[in-house]
Amino acid sequence: MFRIIAASLVVVLMLAGCSSSTGPRAISGTGFVSYVDLEGGFYGIVADNGAHLDPINLPAAFRLDGLYVRYRGYSVPTGASFHMWGASVTLTDIAALPTR
């Protein structure tokens, strides 16, 4: 009986160590919308700092390859996304900008 309890405790502690305690974090910046021809194709944002963002709610009006945008939102702490291309984000605001 002791072994079962000890083994259960080890499993619980291991799973707790795998979870993210940081939660979502705010993001904002500028970058280009990019059509990514992976996993059937999708639109991502390549930020000016080079980061790849995989917005889960990019409005259809902004799904234009090469469109320069200002975005705001928060990270989605899901681990790996289906696309496996960039950090999953939920957008709260997005606006088209003139190309720099």
Q: Domain range spanning residue 62? A: 22-96
17, part of any domain = no
- Residue 48 belongs to some domain of the structure: yes
Give CA–CA dist 80/91, Å, rounded: 18
pLDDT tens by residue, 41-84: 999 999 999 999 999 999 999 999 999 999 999 998 765 556 57
- pLDDT in the model for residue 15: 39
Question: What is the CATH classification number for the domain harbouring 81?
Answer: 2.40.50
Highest mean pLDDT among 71-75, 86-90, 96-100: 71-75
Span 5-54, pLDDT tens digits: 444 444 433 434 444 456 789 999 999 999 999 878 999 999 999 999 99
Residue 67 falls inside a structural domain: yes
Q: What is the DSSP letter of 59?
A: -
What is the count of structural domains for the chain?
Answer: 1
The average pLDDT across 90-94 equals 97
Coil, helix or strand for 97? coil
Contacts (Cβ under 8 Å, ≥6 apart) of 100: 68
| pLDDT score recorded for residue 86 | 85
